[in-house]
């Protein structure tokens, strides 16, 4: 498959689209990003990488980090996770409060904010130096020790924490948050603030390829095959909140988006891919990123179905 040709075609076609998406501003610091940024990096299982556009420019990975925090928490506590978080799509926006009340503080899945906040709580309980250890885990997966938290983004989100704080307080009341609410929020905002580029993200997500057996040298990268399969299943069913069905329908790959405009997706046998375009649609997913991935699976005729 000539992936470079496919990426070049996608980039040309995306360039012709006049999108209607909007850069996220509810975290003010994210609003400073140039809306016309666009990059893709595709990492194949044969070791080859292909890119187009701003693939080497770092951006805020936001909710893409939820997949990495989940993978670490599952390594640490295994199936105990599922007594505190479900595995069903929520059908609601990523930051919704409504289900939590009638489902007694148990989030539907680990990729909505409520679920990721419980995962953050678990990591705080399990790790010696939570923020330092989590960043080290991500650096080891990416095999890149330069990756950093963007503390400006984390602080900006802390200043506008009201909805995430509400979710955490509600779950604390139900007994599903064990640590101090502000500590959980601080950890969560830091994990979301991690700055990575498309290349680093695509390479990091190779841990979910080939049943977790993609040939990576980093020790931290080795994932149990069952974990890799389950995390892929969750990305497929819950990775795009109330647009997960649409993503499975039009793209057909497991994936995860973030409000920084990034999307990571993967074909478990062939490649992992990261796309970045900051303007978001009404569901909080990158408008052109979604389009680019739809073009990819259409042109390559490679999806999981």
**Facing residues of 265 across strands?**
255, 273
User: Element (H or E) spanning 270, and its range?
Assistant: none
- Name the residue with tokens 């920084």: 260
Half-sphere exposure at residue 240, Cβ-oriented, CA atoms within 13 angstroms: 28
Q: What is the nearest approach in angstroms of ligand GLN to the Cβ of residue 106?
A: 19
| Contact pattern from residue 127 through residue 156 relative to ligand GLN, giving x for each residue in contact according to CB under 6 A and a dash for the rest | ------------------------------
Q: Which of 41, 149, 188, 214 is catalytic?
A: 188
User: Which 8-state DSSP code applies to residue 141?
Assistant: H
Q: Which of 259, 271, 275, 286 is catalytic?
A: 259
Binding of ligand GLN at residue 96 (CB under 6 A)?
no
- Among all residues, whose Cβ is closest to ligand GLN? 63
Catalytic site residue 63? yes
Q: Which of 6, 50, 51, 63 is catalytic?
A: 63
Residues 241-260 that bind ligand GLN (CB under 6 A): 258-259
3-class state of residue 162 by DSSP: helix
Binding of ligand GLN at residue 206 (CB under 6 A)?
no
Q: What is the nearest approach in angstroms of ligand GLN to the Cβ of residue 138?
A: 16
Q: Which of 41, 65, 66, 67 is catalytic?
A: 66
CA distance 71 to 119: 10
**Facing residues of 53 across strands?**
39
CA distance 208 to 64: 14
Neighbours of 132 (CB within 10 A): 10
Binding of ligand GLN at residue 94 (CB under 6 A)?
yes
Site size toward ligand GLN (CB under 6 A) is: 11
Judged by CB under 6 A, the residue of 53, 105, 252, 284 near ligand GLN is: 284
Enumerate the H helices of 49-161 as residue ranges.
65-77, 98-102, 113-126, 130-142, 151-159
Task: Give catalytic residues, as residue numbers.
Answer: 63, 66, 188, 241, 259
Binding site for ligand GLN (CB under 6 A): 62-63, 94-95, 113, 157, 164, 192, 258-259, 284
């Amino acid at each position: 498959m000539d992936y470079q040709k496919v990426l070049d075609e996608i980039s040309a076609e995306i360039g012709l689209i006049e999108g209607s998406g909007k850069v996220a501003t509810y975290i003010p610091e994210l609003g400073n990003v140039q809306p016309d940024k666009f990059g893709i990096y595709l990492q194949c299982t044969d070791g080859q990488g292909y890119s187009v556009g701003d693939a080497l420019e770092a951006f805020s990975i936001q909710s893409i980090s939820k997949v990495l925090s989940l993978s670490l928490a599952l390594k640490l506590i295994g199936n105990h996770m599922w007594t505190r978080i479900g595995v069903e799509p929520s059908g609601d926006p990523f930051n919704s409060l409504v289900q939590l009340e009638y489902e007694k503080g148990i989030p539907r899945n680990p990729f909505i904010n409520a679920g990721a906040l419980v995962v953050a709580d678990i990591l705080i309980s399990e790790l010696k130096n939570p923020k330092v250890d989590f960043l080290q885990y991500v650096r080891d997966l990416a095999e890149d020790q330069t990756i950093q938290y963007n503390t400006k983004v984390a602080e900006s989100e802390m200043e506008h924490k009201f909805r995430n704080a509400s979710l955490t307080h509600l779950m604390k009341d139900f007994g599903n948050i064990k640590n101090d609410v502000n500590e959980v929020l601080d950890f969560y905002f830091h994990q979301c603030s991690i700055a990575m580029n498309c290349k680093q993200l695509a390479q990091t997500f190779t841990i979910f390829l080939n049943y977790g057996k993609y040939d990576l040298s980093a020790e931290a990268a080795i994932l149990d095959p069952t974990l890799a399969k389950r995390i892929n299943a969750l990305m497929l069913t819950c990775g795009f909140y109330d647009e997960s069905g649409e993503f499975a329908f039009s793209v057909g790959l497991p994936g995860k988006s973030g409000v920084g405009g990034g999307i990571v997706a993967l074909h478990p046998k062939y490649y992992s891919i990261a796309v970045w375009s900051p303007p978001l649609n009404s569901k909080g997913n990158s408008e052109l990123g979604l389009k680019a991935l739809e073009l990819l699976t259409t042109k390559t005729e490679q999806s999981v179905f």
